[in-house]
Amino acid sequence: MADIVDHDDLANVFLGMGALQSPAELHGYAVGFIAVGGRTERSGWLKHCCDLLDIENPDPEQSDELFRVYTAAKTALASDDLALQLLLPGDELDLDQRIASLGQWVQGFLTGFAMAGKQLQKDGGSLEALSSDSREALSDLAAIAQISADEAGAEGAEQDFFEICEYVRVVAMTVNTECNRPQGPTAGERLH
């Protein structure tokens, strides 16, 4: 499947571009941006990437990889089978590195959410679709973004990490569902 993004492959692309941020942060940004209703074309997405990653114009191959992050997130969020997976390093890395990546993913999600939310409000929309539970979950994410690797050595830390990742994934999908509900027909459309 062309939309699958591999963390390590993307990390190599980032290294080639001189990007200091992590692939996890960019993927989180894409998911947050899309979840609140943000949509853009390839050129717009690449501008977001250049701004977020503090890079100059990527070459065509790098651009393809960056745009794949956006399309993969969009496809996963549109899927009926809850296909969204957080783009994090694999289990071969130490838990403290995976915890740091999770914090970066969540930070990216919140940044993307805020960017698309600002645009939505500027265009006359609102975030009223969010339930109070989702608003509370977003507050939880703000705390998770500050996650520290200090607990990596604690007993049960691996299981705790898995559970937090699953919670973050569910929050992202829930926000996406609430913000991207199909609009019902207007009164005029119902008449025809």
pLDDT in tens, 74-86: 999 999 888 899 9
In a domain, 15, yes or no: yes
Quick one: which of 88, 174, 96 has its CA closest to 130? 174
Q: Which residue has the higher pLDDT, 11 or 179?
A: 11
Inform me whether the pLDDT recorded for 126 exceeds 70.
no
Structural domain boundaries, residue 14: 7-181
Average pLDDT over residues 37-62: 94
For residue 131, what pLDDT is reported?
87
For residue 83, what pLDDT is reported?
87
- State the CATH number of the domain containing residue 157: 1.20.120.740
State pLDDT tens for residues 146-177. 987 775 667 788 999 999 999 999 999 999 99
The alpha helices in the chain, defined as continuous H runs, are 7-17, 23-35, 42-53, 60-78, 95-122, 132-144, 157-179, 187-191
Contact indicator for 36, 117 with CB cutoff of 8 Å: yes
Q: How many domains in the chain?
A: 1
Contact indicator for 67, 130 with CB cutoff of 8 Å: no
For residue 117, what pLDDT is reported?
81
What are the phi and psi torsion angles at 140 (to 5°)? -60, -40
20: which residues sit within 8 A by CB, 6+ positions away? 53, 54
Q: Model pTM? A: 0.89
Quick one: which of 36, 50, 27 has its CA closest to 101? 27
Inform me whether the pLDDT recorded for 102 exceeds 80.
yes
